[in-house]
A and B are shown apart, each in its own frame.
Chain A
Amino acid sequence: MNQTRGDALVAEYLDRVRAAASGLGPGRREELIQDLREHIATARAELTTETEEGIRAILDRLGDPAAIAAEAAVGEPLRPPMAPPATPAPPTSNRTVLTVLAVVLAVIVLGPVALCVVGGLGFFAFRTGEPTEIHGPAVEIPLPSLLPTERRSPSST
């Protein structure tokens, strides 16, 4: 009777620790539970006579399950490196998706426009580019030959 009541108290306590430590990895959490279970079993065996009060005292000295879980989480060297990549990951992938979408949209919508513009410009440049692309003194030579004001250059000089 006393024994089962004690077992129930212990099980209830360990359940509270398990719930408080839900943020830990399952392996680490079970290790913690196992450590506490061992402690309780050893401490119970050391009671001269096992009473409910004795078991409550053992659990009280172990302390608040939340405090134990917090200590396990703070000292957890694997959690902090795991957590940061998990948090920035969604924004990064969202941004990537948005960027890809924007590029695709730009190509679809602006592609033909750009093609027309580029084509038109290219055509225009091709037509008018010949003289302008020639630099320096070379410009002066074809200009008079192309322009109808051919006669002006001999007149101006």
Chain B
Amino acid sequence: MADTEGIAAWLRRGTLEYCVLALLARGTRYGVELVRDLAADPALTATEGTLYPLLSRLRRTGWVETTWRESPTGPPRRYYSLTEEGRQALDRFRHEWVAFRDAVDRVMGTDSR
């Protein structure tokens, strides 16, 4: 189990950032929403909390930006949205990802199941 989690963690390392960008490309979300959407799939995220350091990195990189909006139910929420730079990074990743995924599948024999 620890080994499986280790592999998953390593695979996530280079890809999860772009999953966040891809989610945000569909529309802005506030932190809790974004984190819950990602953590809903256990293959993508171990826990919700580990996504916040990742969001912080994306803010610093300038790929996402945040704006505060009033909430009808509670404190103001911080909404995340994709910047133009983030959109370009996502496009580059999509391109690389397809080539990478296909190559790994060919080598692993996981392409024809």
- Which A residues form the contact surface with B (CB < 8 A)? 17, 28, 31-32, 35-36, 38-39, 41-46, 61-65, 67-68, 71-72, 74-75, 77
Contacts and interface: CB of A to CB of B under 8 A. Distances in A.
Interface of B: 13, 30-32, 35, 39, 46-50, 52-57, 71, 73-75, 77-78
B66 to A, nearest CB: 10
State the 9 A-B residue pairs at the shortest beta-carbon distance, nearest first.
A45-B74, A63-B47, A62-B49, A72-B53, A68-B49, A35-B52, A71-B50, A63-B49, A71-B53
Chain A interface helix/strand/loop/mixed: helix
Given A39-B48, A42-B77, A44-B74, 15 more contacts: A32-B52, A35-B52, A35-B56, A36-B49, A39-B49, A42-B71, A43-B32, A45-B73, A61-B47, A64-B47, A65-B49, A67-B46, A68-B53, A71-B53, A72-B56
A74 B78 CA distance: 24
12 contacts: A31-B56, A32-B56, A38-B31, A38-B75, A42-B30, A42-B31, A45-B75, A61-B49, A63-B47, A64-B49, A68-B53, A77-B57
Contacts of B31: 35, 38-39, 42
Contacts of B47: 61-64, 67-68
Contacts, number: 74
B48 A75 contact: no
B57 A75 contact: yes
A34 to B, nearest CB: 9
A41 B74 contact: yes
A36 B31 CA distance: 10
A71 B50 CA distance: 6
